[in-house]
Structure 1
Amino acid sequence: MSKFIASIDIGTTNIKINLFNSDYQVVDMVKYPHLNINQDASVFEMDFEEIWENVLDGIKHLIIVNEVEQLEIILTTAMHSVQLINEDGTLSGAVLTWADTRGAEIIEQQSEEALANQYNRTGTPIHSMNPYFKLMSVYEKGMCVGSLKDLLFYQLTGEWVIDISNASSSGLLNLESLTWDAISLADIGLETSELPRIKAVDYNAKAMDALFNAEVSVTIGTTDGISSNYVFSDLDDVAVLSIGTSHAVRVINKQPQLNNLYQNFAYHIKKGQYLIGLPSNNGADVLSWTNKVFNSSFDELNRIAAQRPQTESVFIPHLNGERAPIWDEGATGNLFALTRVSSRESVLFSIILGMIFNIKHNVSALEEIADFSEIGLVGGVTELDAFPQLISDILGYKLYIPIMKNAETLGSIAVVKDVDLPSEYRVVKPRSNQNFDELYKKYLDRV
C-alpha cells in the first residue's frame, strides 16, 4: 500500500497543502485563502473555524481524487498565534496573529530590566508580536490558551499538544529548561494545565476514525519559519530570506544566540538546533501598497526593477510600523529627496530600493550574530523575475531559489523526518558592476 504525505502550511493569508508520494514527489496540491480576516490599525484576527473547515476539506479532497489509502499529515503553522479558550472548551473570540498589536501598551509599562530578563529567558523579542504581551493584555483567569497548531492537532487527533518550536515562539517557553516558563505564566496568571503539553516536532498520533475514509496519522510538525529554512537543508552555510507580506532572514544555529541590541529571535527546533533570525513587518506588502497608491502593477514594478532608472530619492518602508531592525511600533514610511527631475519611474524604483535596503539592514545585523555565505530566497517575490537579481546585487550574496512551488511544504517533511531532501534551485549571482553603496548609506542616515 503506497503511503502519501499531506504537508500543510497555514500562514496568515492562506492555506497551502501539497500531497507527496513516498518518494517525496508532489502529486497534487490545493490552496485556500483566509476570507474571514478581521483587520484594522491594531487588530489582525483569523477565524479558526474557517481554517479548520478548509484544512478538513482539502485533506478529504486529496484523499478522494488521488485514491489515497494511507496518509500522514504534517502540520506547519505561522508563529505567535493565540487562541483563548473558555472554561467549557468553546473558543473565545478569534485567533490573534503576530500582526495584532494588542499588548504593546504592556511593553511601555515595564522596566528595561524586566523586558531584558523576559527576552533572555525566552528568546522571543520584546514586541507586540510576542504572545506573552498579548496575554498580559487580554487573558482572563480560568481560560485555557491555545494556538493554531495545537487546536488543529486536537481537532484531528483528540490530543491537546503543541510542538516545541511553536511553544518556543510563544514567549512562554524557558530556553534553558525547554518547559513552560514559570515566571511568564505567573505574570499572566496562567497554570501549566491551561496550556497544551509540549512534544517534539516529529510527534505523531492517529487521526480520529470518523474524519477520513483512509488510514491517517498526524505529525505535529513545526513553524513556517523553520520549514522555510529546511527547504535548503542540502546546502551548507546558508541563511534563508523569506519575503511574503513581511520578511525575515534566518539561520539554523547550534546555540540560542541572543543579542539584546538587535533583539533577534532564538527558537528551539530539536537538540542542537535553534532558529536564529530577524523579522520585519515590511516585505512585499510595500509593493502591494505601492500598486494601490500609484495605480501601478507588479508587472510595472518588475519592469522598473529590470530597467533600474537613475534616482536620488530615499524611501523608508516602515508602512506597518517595524520590528527588526528598529523595533518601533510607531514607525512610519517616508520618501525623501524628491526634486523637480524626479519621475514616476525614479520614485517607484526608490520605493523598491527602500524595501530591499530594509532587508539588507537585517541581513547585515544577522551577519554579526551568525555565520553564512549564501542566501536561500523564498516567497512570492521570486515570481517577479527582475527582483532576485536586484536583491542579489544589493545584498552581495549568491541566491538559491527553489524551483518547486510551495517548497516550504517539502521543508516541513525534512524537519520531521530528519532528512536532507535535495532541491532543484535557480541560482542568481551578484554582479560586481552594480553599486548601491551610496544610496544605501543615505538610507541608513534616514532610518
Structure 2
Amino acid sequence: MAAYMIGTDIGTTSTKCVLYDLKGHVIAHADKGYPLYQDVPDMAEEDPEDIFNAVIDVLGQVIRKVKVKPEEIKGVSFSSAMHSLILMDENDEPLTRAITWADNRAAKYSEELKANGLGAEIYAKTGTPIHPMAPLSKMLWLKNEQPDLFKKAKKFIDLKTYVFFKLFGVYQMEYSIASATGMFNIFELKWEPQVLDLLDITTDRLPELVAPTDTIDHINDSYGKLLGIAQTTPFVFGASDGVLSNLGVNAIDPGVVAVTIGTSGAVRVVVDKPMVDPNGRLFCYALTKDKWVVGGPVNNGGIVFRWVRDQLFAPEKITAEQMQVSSYDILTQIAEKIPAGSDGLLFQPYLGGERAPIWNAYARGSFFGLTRQHTRAHMVRSALEGIVYNLYVVMLMIEGIAGKPKRIQATGGFARSALWRQMLADIFEQDVTIPESFESSCLGAATLGLYALGYIDELSEVKNMIGVTEVHHPNAENFEVYRELLPIWLRLSRTLEPEYKAIAEFQKKHTNPNK
C-alpha cells in the first residue's frame, strides 16, 4: 500500500502544500494565494478565513491529484509564517484580521520598550528582538490605542493556531511559533511572567503550549470528509517557516548556515541550546527542544527586485510579458553586463523599513555614488548587491555568537538566478550550495512530521531528500572589489540612520494613502 506524508506551509502571501512519499520524494503540490490588506499607512493584515480556506483548498488538491486513500495518509505536518496576531472573541470568532509580521503600526511602542531598558530585559528571556513585527509590540499597541477591543479578546493567537482551532477545536501553539512572539521564555519553555504583567493578561488568554513534534487527531468530521482524511490521521503541530526552511535545505548541523531570499530574506544557523545576542539584534527560535535557530530576518529581499522591475524597467516588463519570458531573467541579463561593485554605485535596500541588521522600522532606501556615467543597468545590479550586503552584515552578527560558517546552503526565489547566486558567493567569500529541494519549508515540515511519527530516526535524514545540489565558488577578483566597498556601505548606513525617522514622518504626513 502506498504511504504519504503531507507538508503544508502557511505563508505570508500564499499557502503551499506538498504530498511526499515516506522517502521525501515529491508526488504532488499545490498553492493558493490571498490578499494583503493595507487600508492605512503601515497596515499589513490578512483575513484568517482566507488563510483557512487556502489550507483546505491545497490539502484537497494534493489528495485529489493522486487519488490518495484516507488510510494512505500517514500524517500532515505544518510550517507557518511567524509573528501574526489574531484576537478571538467569547464566541471563538475573530475580532480582528490577522495582523502580520509586516505590520508597522506598533513602531512607537517598540521604540518605547527599547528606550526604557525593559526591552533588553525581555529580549534576554525571549530571544525575540524588540520590533513592531512581534506580537508583544502589537499587543502593547492595541492595549494602549484600542483598549476596549483588547479587553474584549478571549484569546490572542496566531494563524496556525487559528487553523488548528478550526480543524480540532483547541487553542494550542507550539514552541517554535511561541518563541517568535516576544512573550515566551525560551529557557524555561513557558509564557514569560514579566511580559504577562506588562500586558496585564493571564495565561488563560493565550494558547496552551505544545512541542513542535506533538500531534493531534480526530479532525472536525465535516473537514475530514471534505478532504478525504481519516479521523485517526495524526496532524503534527510542526514549527515556523524559518526554522523549517533550515531543516528543508539540510542546514541543521553546527556551522551550516541557511541563507534565504524570497520576498524577504533571512540568515540562520542551528545551535543545540537557546542563545541570545548581547546587543539584541538576532532572534533565537525553537525547532525542537534540543535544536534552536539563531539568525536575523530582513524585510528587503526579492521585493526590492520587484520594485526595480516595476519602477525602473516597466517597458522591459511589458516586453517580457508579451514574449512570455521572465522579466526578472531579462533584468539579470542586463545586470550581468555591469562589473562587480556597479562602478561604485551603492544601494541601501530599506524600502520597507528593516529588521536585521539595523532593526529600524523607519529605515528608507537610497542610491549613493550616482554619477552621469551610471545607467539603469548599474542601478539594477547595485540593488541586487545591496540586498546581499545587508544579508552579509547579518551573517557577521551570527558569527559573533555562533562562530564562522562551515558551509552555506541557499534557497528561495533568488536561487533561480545564476548571477545572484554567484553574487552571494562573492560577497560572503564562501562556497554557496543550492539544494534542488522543492519548497524547503514544506519539506522541513514533512521531515519533522516523519521524525515525530517515528518514520525516521534523525532529522539529519533530510540529506537524502533534498536532491542534487549546485555549488558556486567565490570569484577572487570580485570579492576583492566587494571587500573595498563593504566598509563604505556600512558607514553609509550608520550616517543615514539619524535621518530615517525624520524622512519617514515627513512621508507619512505628506503621502496620500489613497494613491
TM-score interval, smaller chain = over 0.9
Q: State the match for 1:256 in structure 2.
A: 274
Q: State the match for 1:26 in structure 2.
A: 26
TM-score (norm 1): 0.95
Q: Which of 315, 337, 362 is the equivalent residue of 2:394? A: 362
Tell me how far apart the structure 1 counterparts of residues 23 and 273 of structure 2 sit (CA, whole Å). Answer: 33
Q: Which of 79, 82, 85 is the equivalent residue of 2:82? A: 79
SS in 2 for 1:127: coil
Deviation of 1:330 after TM superposition, in Å, equals: 1.0
SS in 2 for 1:93: coil
2:107 paired with 1:104 = yes
Tell me how far apart the structure 2 counterparts of residues 248 and 47 of structure 1 sit (CA, whole Å). Answer: 25
Q: State the match for 1:229 in structure 2.
A: 246
Q: How does 1:33-52 map to 2 (within 5 A)?
A: 33-35=33-35, 37-38=37-38, 41-52=41-52
Tell me how far apart the structure 2 counterparts of residues 95 and 129 of structure 1 sit (CA, whole Å). Answer: 12
Deviation of 1:142 after TM superposition, in Å, equals: 4.2
Q: State the match for 1:273 in structure 2.
A: 291
Deviation of 1:272 after TM superposition, in Å, equals: 2.4
Instruction: Pick the structure with more strand per residue.
Output: 1
Amino acid at match of 2:237: I
Does the 8 Å CA contact 1:163/1:222 hold for their aligned counterparts? yes
Distance 1:35 1:328, change over 3 A: closer
Q: State the match for 2:162 in structure 1.
A: 151
2:185 paired with 1:174 = yes
Does the 8 Å CA contact 1:360/1:395 hold for their aligned counterparts? yes
Tell me how far apart the structure 1 counterparts of residues 245 and 271 of structure 2 sit (CA, whole Å). Answer: 15
Once structures 1 and 2 are overlaid, which stretch shifts more, 152-161 or 299-308? 299-308
Structure 1 unaligned regions, length at least 5: none
Aligned length: 447
2:140 paired with 1:130 = no
Deviation of 1:307 after TM superposition, in Å, equals: 2.9
Does the 8 Å CA contact 1:262/1:325 hold for their aligned counterparts? no
Deviation of 1:50 after TM superposition, in Å, equals: 0.9
SS in 1 for 2:477: coil
Q: Which of 202, 205, 209 is the equivalent residue of 2:221? A: 209
Instruction: Pick the structure with more helix per residue.
Output: 2
2:132 paired with 1:121 = no
CA offsets 1:8-64 (integer angstroms, 9 cap, x no match): 011111111001122221110001111354465311001110111121122122223
Q: State the match for 1:348 in structure 2.
A: 380
Q: Which of 399, 413, 430 is the equivalent residue of 2:474? A: 430
Q: State the match for 1:247 in structure 2.
A: 265
Distance 1:242 1:40, change over 3 A: farther
Tell me how far apart the structure 1 counterparts of residues 35 and 353 of structure 2 sit (CA, whole Å). Answer: 24
Distance 1:234 1:102, change over 3 A: closer
Structure 2 unaligned regions, length at least 5: 144-149, 317-326, 452-457, 494-515
Tell me how far apart the structure 1 counterparts of residues 489 and 102 of structure 2 sit (CA, whole Å). Answer: 25
Tell me how far apart the structure 2 counterparts of residues 63 and 141 of structure 1 sit (CA, whole Å). Answer: 42
Does the 8 Å CA contact 2:302/2:414 hold for their aligned counterparts? yes
Deviation of 1:317 after TM superposition, in Å, equals: 1.0
CA RMSD of aligned residues (A): 1.8
Q: State the match for 2:320 in structure 1.
A: none
Deviation of 1:269 after TM superposition, in Å, equals: 2.6
Amino acid at match of 2:476: S
Does the 8 Å CA contact 1:5/1:20 hold for their aligned counterparts? yes
Tell me how far apart the structure 1 counterparts of residues 252 and 187 of structure 2 sit (CA, whole Å). Answer: 29
Q: State the match for 2:442 in structure 1.
A: 409
Does the 8 Å CA contact 2:176/2:285 hold for their aligned counterparts? yes
TM-score (norm 2): 0.83
Q: State the match for 1:218 in structure 2.
A: 235
Amino acid at match of 2:417: L
Amino acid at match of 1:99: A
Tell me how far apart the structure 1 counterparts of residues 287 and 440 of structure 2 sit (CA, whole Å). Answer: 19
Q: State the match for 2:151 in structure 1.
A: 141
Tell me how far apart the structure 2 counterparts of residues 262 and 443 of structure 1 sit (CA, whole Å). Answer: 22
Distance 1:239 1:39, change over 3 A: farther
Does the 8 Å CA contact 1:4/1:21 hold for their aligned counterparts? yes
Once structures 1 and 2 are overlaid, which stretch shifts more, 309-318 or 224-233? 309-318
